Structure 1
């Protein structure tokens, strides 16, 4: 097993970042919030992350019975796939999940079928394993404005659709930050430059809704957060600049989708267009990685974003 310091970093304010090991280093984070001897996980990664999550508790000298909450930001498998398996190891923990995601955490059959439809049977088996359900009596459905108490520390939930309708973000007043899941987009450390972090939206299928996403992002920015705790990847500051960049990229992705909606090979037009957008904007950001390196790093995101935009376009036609 990796040394703990290879996948566990302490951010401050009792917040610890666990690299779940999914896909590549510094791609998928789970967070462990510790307050006065009690703890909560926000996002869990996949089933394969379980040894790292438990090792993080051991490194911080926390017993498994000291974890009160497991909180998926939404039920996509890179965020919640390992939540059921983790809950089996945490005797006192309850799960706080968006009400639209509650049934999928209790009975993940439809969740798994949806993942197989997007990724294929072989990839789901390799990357995620079989998601384990959670006993319904251990699950709490959140609502907009709801607050959980973690040893006196307030964790407040905001309903934040746009990436997915089953998405909430968690406001941590203590640190002045949001645990954002995918609502506030992706920012990979490989793209950091002297200008700071680089942010782009994620339109992963099947519930991408750009108007709702814009509203969710603006609502979060209005609270003047000091930090955004991203699942992909890690804490970022300079939040207002990144929010503006995120919304600008969202507009560009929407415009691209509308411009190629009737293209004969729409998927190819979308992936080519997204590649151009990201390469051009990364060059302006001061990124010196060569084009092939950028496109390799973003290959999965480009593919999934194209799929999500296409589904959104098809939904518009049906209205």
Structure 2
């Protein structure tokens, strides 16, 4: 899909669902892809490139906002088909793309028996094809197109966001949340903070949000999923929901701190999901089965991350 200003999005069909995770194509002298999703999505990305009339051999840069497998798990596989591409990654992520052993272990802890179905194969990236970008570094991909990289932790410590000079847009990965374009058809722009384990930090997330706000972007390109031309509303959503999530989490954690981890997570998930459903009902929105499944998945994984954070910080 053409998003204008030299940006296209390919639906990577993450988890077999439409409009779940996107791979962005920047049409420039140095053809650039941002996000690869997991390896089962690579066939959809290749189909999308074919529709756009792009030979994978033309691709010069593959950028991953962070190294979670739903954003970068397929990079090694895609790289095999893109012989002239380099992979651009946050400095804290480089070693894990070169040796994904710890990434695999962490994802198996979250996804369990579904791991192989969702993520295999995960291939290492040769070190000579990895390029690190530090906070404030730039990459010129066209005569009038410069990408600037900003360290934006909160969702993960190995996360950067990328400002695109041509579109005045920011590719935010998961730093400022998950966007649900399906609800736009019902007149609601909804965005939740992405609080998945195990490096979620609400204070760092808010600091990264302020850094992104300061860029005065016209567009936000979300990893999950799509573009908004209403950044201010998205910023307000993240601030609102993050505060609500953390207030409710701390309250429930104090009540359930002696219970097993799995019970704490389930209690929090049920409470947060009820609040979301009630909020949407007040706007006249009811969720269909597809949206129920997607939001429940995000809130369940997000509840794991919040409880993990509270465990590390003694409920504070």
CA contact (8 A) 1:193 1:287 kept: no
1:42-191 correspondence runs (5 A): 42-120=34-112, 122-152=113-143, 153-191=145-183
Given that 1:95 and 1:140 are in contact with CA atoms closer than 8 Å, whether structure 2 keeps it comes out as yes
* 1:275-315 deviations in Å (ceiling 9; x for gaps): 1221122223442336x765433121121011000100011
Other structure's SS at 1:223 match: coil
Match of 2:270 among 264, 269, 272: 272
Shift of 1:53: 1.9
Match of 1:4 in 2: none
Q: How many residues align?
A: 308
Structure 1 partner of 2:230: 238
Report the Cα distance in structure 2 between the residues aligned to 1:124 and 1:209, rounded to whole angstroms.
25
Q: Relative to 1, partners in 2 of residues 1:42 and 1:268: Cα closer, same or farther, differing over 3 Å?
A: same
Name the counterpart of 2:311: 314
In structure 2, the partner of 1:283 is 281
Normalised by the size of structure 2, how large is the TM-score? 0.93
SS class of match (1:44): coil
Aligned-CA RMSD value: 1.7
Matching residue of 2:21: 28
Specify which of 226, 243, 247 is matched with residue 239 of structure 2: 247
How far apart, in 2, do the equivalents of 1:84 and 1:106 lie? 9
Query: CA 1:64–1:193 in 2, change beyond 3 Å: closer, same or farther?
Result: closer
The separation in 2 between residues aligned to 1:284 and 1:162, in whole angstroms, is 30
Deviates more, 1:309-318 or 1:229-238: 309-318
Deviation, 1:222, is: 1.8
Give the alignment's TM-score, normalised by structure 1: 0.92
Q: Matched residues in 1 for 2:293 and 2:104: separation?
A: 27
Residue 199 of structure 1 pairs with residue 196 of structure 2: no
- TM-aligned CA deviation for residue 194 of structure 1: 5.9
1:304 aligns with 301
Q: Is the 8 A contact 2:266 2:300 kept in 1?
A: no
Q: Secondary structure, in 3 states, of the residue corresponding to 1:205?
A: coil
Distance 1:77 1:196 in 2: 29
Q: CA deviation at 1:48?
A: 1.3
Q: Measure the CA separation in 2 of the matches of 1:148 and 1:296.
A: 38
Work out the CA distance in 1 between the residues paired with 2:7 and 2:51.
14
In 2, the alpha carbon distance for the partners of 1:154 and 1:297 equals 34
Residue 229, structure 1, aligned to residue 221, structure 2: yes
On the 8 A contact 1:226/1:239 being kept in 2, the answer is yes
Structure 1 spans left out of the alignment, 5+ residues: 1-8
CA distance in 1, matches of 2:296, 2:5: 34
Query: Could you tell me how far apart the structure 1 residues matched to 2:186 and 2:296 are?
Result: 24
2:186/2:285 contact within 8 Å kept? no
Alignment pair present for 1:17 and 2:15: no
